[in-house]
Structure formats: C-alpha cells, structure tokens
Amino acid sequence: MKYIIIGLGNFGASLAEKLTKLGNEVIGVDMNMSKVEAIKDRITHAVNLDSTDITAVSSLPLKDTDIVIVGIGEDKGANIMATALMKQLHVKRLISRAVSPLQEMVLEAMGVDEIIHPEEETAERWSKKLNLQGVVDSFEVNRDYSIIETTVPEIFHGRTLEEIGLKRQYDIIVLTTIKISREKNELGTSRKVSNVQGVASAKTILHQDDIMVLYGHNKNLKKLLRDQKSISL
C-alpha cells in the first residue's frame, strides 16, 4: 500500500513510522523542515512543502497513492485547507484528523467520512468498546456514569421509547437517536451518513441498526447490553 501522511507532528510521525515498518510505502509531508529532517531516515520519503498550496501538493504522486491522511493537529485552518485540496484533487481515499467538534462538523460537511481523533482514542475508551458488546462509542461522565452509543437491536425495531421503558426498567435515559444511512458521492462511492434526530421523547420510534445515545449508571448500561438479546417485551 502507498500512503501520503500530511503533518509530521507526534501523531503523523508515529503513524508514518508504523506503516513503514509494516512494509508500506509512506511519503511524509510537512512544511517544517526540522520535522522532515527528523524522520527522513525512518520512512520511505519525507518531503518539505506547504500542504495548503495547490501547486505544491500537485507535485505529489496523488494518483498512485492508495490513502492520503491529513494528520495536522494544532493548526486547524491548515488541516481544513489541506483536506479541501485533497478533496479537490480527487484522491482515492481520504482520512482527516479532527481535534474539536466544530472541526469535525466542517470536515463532514466537506464530505470527509473517515475522521480520526487521536487525542480521544484512550485505553479507557477502547477497553469499554471491547468489553461491552454492542457499544459504538462511549464517553465517561465520571467513575460511575457514562454516555454510550449503541446499535438499536432487532427486538426494539418499530417500538417507541415509551413502550420499551428503558427508564422504567433500567433507569437509563435515551438522549437522542441517530439515523444511519448511506449516500453516494460525486465519485459514485457510498459513504455512511449519520443524522441526529433531535432530543428523544416517549414517542420516539426506534429502527433496527440505528444508534441510541444512552445515559446512565455503568452497571445499568452493562445490564441492558447483556439483556438486549433476551428482553421479552
């Protein structure tokens, strides 16, 4: 595989090295010459150029590259500009980094459907994802309470939140639901689209494979996830 990684800070440099060690061809790009010099002997190629300059980035072998990763972190404007140029130049697959909700919203509006959050990918979050089957994502409010995203199971399909009674049975609040669909972009490839449905109410109807955003005590959330497949309504 051939990668171009734009931004050789801690995250970008580390990713570039790991991909190179796995036998991939990696081109690292940064406008800071000291960062380029620091990594040039540890990856396939390291290039010093301004990733927000369309003339400069057009010199990169974009058509022959499988994946372009915009890993710029601190300079959000440069991240968005570089990402926009990659979209304009129609790279095969584009992944960009977001360090704030607003930046993520802008990237999504640009049609970037693969977004990474290296600052948030902690061992704690991953341990929850792996330990709790069915969890899409989670956020720890404190030691006892969490907000999690979980897929709506088949048994809940077509029912309202009032009928299911998660508050009554588990003391869990459904904050909102997210409808998942797929749409084609200008290249004819499909991407996943998430549409938040607003604040949930007792009359909210659930649909299989959409997402519920739940808030509750960790022990109650775990119990719900264990019981989902065997709940009798």
pTM for this entry: 0.54
pLDDT tens sequence for the chain (233 residues): 899 999 999 888 888 888 888 888 999 999 999 999 999 999 999 999 999 999 999 999 999 999 899 999 888 889 999 999 999 999 998 989 888 887 888 888 888 868 887 765 532 453 354 345 556 666 666 678 888 888 898 889 999 999 999 999 999 999 889 887 777 655 555 566 678 888 889 999 999 888 888 888 988 988 888 887 555 44
40-94 confidence digits (pLDDT tens): 999 999 999 999 999 999 999 999 999 899 999 888 889 999 999 999 999 998 9
* HSE-CB of 164 using CA atoms within 13 angstroms: 29
- Give pLDDT, residue 222: 85
Residues 6+ apart with CB under 8 A from 154: 208
Distances (CA, A) of 35 to 12, 13, 168, 213: 10, 9, 56, 41
How far apart CA 156 and CA 101 sit, in angstroms, is 30
How far apart CA 204 and CA 199 sit, in angstroms, is 9
Instruction: State which amino acid sits at residue 54.
Output: I
